[in-house]
Amino acid sequence: MKISFEQSGGIAGLRFATTLDTAGLPPEDAQKLRRMVDEADFFNLPARIVSPRPQPDRFQYKLQVQESSRQHTVTVSEEALPTSLAPLVKWLGEEARRKMREKNP
């Protein structure tokens, strides 16, 4: 399973992104990721999830998951983030920031 993640927006308008492949992860991380994708029912989420009352300066997340023949992309505003998707977004956000820090320890 391949996952790409991008966080944009916020008052700073910074972009954090990461791409990962479960094949290259420690088994426990790969398993956790698969579980979070399943629990979010990711492949059945709408492509765009927005709030009826958008809040300025919140983050925008874009997630793309590819697994064998399936691929799905979801763009979601922070204030409209479904509870089921929140753990995956949190995990990927931390991973993106960790990777960026590694570039410049």
Partner 1 sequence: MLNATNSPIRGIIPPHMLEEIAKRGTTRQKDWALHNLTFAGFVRGQRQAMAALPTAAAVGHKYRTVNDNKHEGGNPPTGALVFKEGDPASADPAVNEAYDGAGATYDLYYDVYQRNSIDNRGMSIVSFVHYESNFNNAFWDGSEMVYGDGDGDIFDRFTKCIDVIGHELTHGVTQHEANLAYSGQPGALNESMSDVFGSLVKQRVLNQTADKADWLIGAGLLTSKIQGQALRSMKAPGTAYDDPVLGKDPQPADMQHYVKTSSDNGGVHINSGIPNRAFYLAATAIGGNAWEKAGKIWYVALRDRLRSNSTFKRAATATISVAKELFGDGSNEMKAVQDAWKGVGVI
70-77/48-49 β-pairing: parallel
Which residues from 71-100 bind partner 1, rule CB under 8 A?
75, 79, 97, 100
Q: Is 64 in the site for partner 1 (CB under 8 A)?
A: no
- Exactly one of 24, 47, 56, 69 binds partner 1 (CB under 8 A); which one? 56
Return d(Cα 59, Cα 42) in angstroms, integer: 19
The residue (of 39 and 54) whose beta carbon lies closer to partner 1 is 54
- Exactly one of 2, 10, 30, 87 binds partner 1 (CB under 8 A); which one? 10
**Would you tell me how many other CB atoms lie within 10 Å of the CB of residue 79?**
13
- Exactly one of 19, 31, 55, 71 binds partner 1 (CB under 8 A); which one? 55
- Report DSSP letters for 57-86, one per residue: T-EEEEEEEEETTEEEEEEEEGGG--TTTH
Q: Where do we find the tokens 């709030």?
A: 51
- The region of 18-26, 27-35, 36-44, 47-55 touching partner 1 under the rule CB under 8 A is 47-55
Which residues from 19-38 bind partner 1, rule CB under 8 A?
none
User: Is 92 within 8 Å of 16 (Cβ atoms)?
Assistant: no
Residue ranges in contact with partner 1 by CB under 8 A: 6, 8-15, 53-60, 62, 75, 79, 97, 100-101, 103-104
